[in-house]
């Protein structure tokens, strides 16, 4: 699917879609060994936002690719901020309202796909096992190694805790292009056409291929073929 034509789509866990976690470098490097403890914030659009949230200035970001096929669909839940937008009695501070929803988030579990489609975020309420970790990318957003254009685009993306469904849909193509860049995939300046201003587009022309600050720390090895299958192939 080309990012410029990207559409927000519903998710089927069994299709093997991958979602992402934005966290610290240390947590990301431990994920292939220890997994991730709940609640885990999963996103298809905004790992950079969550990296900025969890990292101190000068710290490197950790972006983790998670396979949904390795997770239990019964343990998904929506973002509390997404549910809060549809709450009729909105009294008290926003933080208190969101915490109250989080305390009973299991009652909203069936709305996790609507949350993912509406704001790009959902929760996982159990441990994410190491087997679900597909890839770990480490990015340095500071210093000479940083890609300033990508940093600016990450900063321009909507905040998932306040984004509306229309804003999320409008920015989805841009967020997918950024995600491809973090994932080490080929990205062209054309993928950002119409999604960034002319000044930033010119900066992208000069810096898009600069990935000096991006390291692929871990890629999950391909699962070994069972010996019985190997023997069958030999007999053929």
Q: Where are the domains of the chain?
A: 3-219
Calculate the CA dihedral of residues 174, 175, 179, 181 and round it to 10 degrees. 30
pLDDT of residue 193: 67
pLDDT class of 79 with cuts at 50, 70, 90: very high
Q: Which sign does the torsion angle of CA 122, 128, 221, 232 carry? A: negative
- Average pLDDT estimate for 133-144: 94
Answer yes or no: are the C-beta atoms of 176 and 43 closer than 8 Å: no
Query: CA Rg, the chain, in Å?
Result: 19
pLDDT of residue 213: 94
Size (the chain), residues? 236
Model confidence at 230: pLDDT above 60: no
Model confidence at 139: pLDDT above 60: yes
Q: Rounded to whole angstroms, how far apart are CA atoms 81 and 99?
A: 9
pLDDT of residue 87: 78
> What's the pLDDT tens digit per position in 184-207?
888 888 887 667 888 888 888 788
> HSE on the CB side for 125, CA within 13 Å?
18
Model confidence at 3: pLDDT above 60: no
Residues with Cβ within 8 Å of residue 95, at least 6 apart in sequence: none
> What's the pLDDT tens digit per position in 177-190?
999 999 988 888 88
Q: Which residue has the higher pLDDT, 155 or 9?
A: 155
> What's the pLDDT tens digit per position in 46-77?
999 999 999 999 999 999 999 999 999 999 99
> What's the pLDDT tens digit per position in 105-114?
999 999 999 9
The conformation of residue 90, written as its DSSP 8-state character, comes to -
152 phi and psi, to 5 degrees? -65, -40
pLDDT of residue 190: 80
What pTM, to 2 d.p., does this model score? 0.85
Model confidence at 227: pLDDT above 70: no
pLDDT class of 208 with cuts at 50, 70, 90: confident
Show the CA angle centred on residue 107, arms to residues 103 and 112, nearest 5°.
100
Answer yes or no: are the C-beta atoms of 45 and 177 closer than 8 Å: no
> HSE on the CB side for 105, CA within 13 Å?
26
> What's the pLDDT tens digit per position in 13-43?
545 589 999 999 999 999 999 999 999 999 9
pLDDT of residue 17: 86
pLDDT of residue 6: 41
């Amino acid at each position: 699917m080309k990012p410029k034509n990207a559409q927000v789509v519903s998710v089927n866990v069994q299709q093997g879609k991958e979602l992402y976690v934005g966290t610290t470098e240390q947590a990301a490097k431990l994920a292939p060994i220890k997994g991730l403890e709940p609640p885990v914030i999963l996103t298809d659009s905004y790992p950079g936002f969550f990296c900025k949230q969890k990292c101190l200035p000068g710290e490197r970001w950790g972006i983790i690719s998670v396979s949904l096929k390795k997770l239990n669909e019964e343990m998904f839940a929506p973002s509390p901020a997404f549910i809060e937008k549809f709450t009729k009695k909105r009294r008290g501070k926003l933080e208190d309202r969101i915490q109250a929803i989080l305390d009973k988030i299991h009652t909203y579990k069936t709305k996790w796909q609507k949350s993912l489609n509406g704001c790009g975020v959902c929760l996982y309420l159990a441990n994410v096992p190491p087997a679900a970790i597909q890839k770990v990318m480490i990015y340095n957003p500071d210093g000479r190694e940083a890609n300033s254009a990508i940093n600016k685009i990450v900063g321009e993306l909507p905040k998932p805790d306040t984004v509306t469904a229309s804003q999320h849909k409008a920015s989805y193509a841009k967020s997918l292009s950024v995600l491809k860049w973090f994932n080490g995939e080929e990205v062209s300046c054309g993928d950002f056409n119409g999604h960034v201003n002319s000044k930033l587009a010119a900066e992208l022309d000069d810096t898009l291929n600069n990935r000096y600050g991006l390291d692929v720390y871990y890629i999950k090895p391909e699962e070994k073929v069972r010996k019985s299958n190997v023997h069958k192939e030999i007999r053929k």
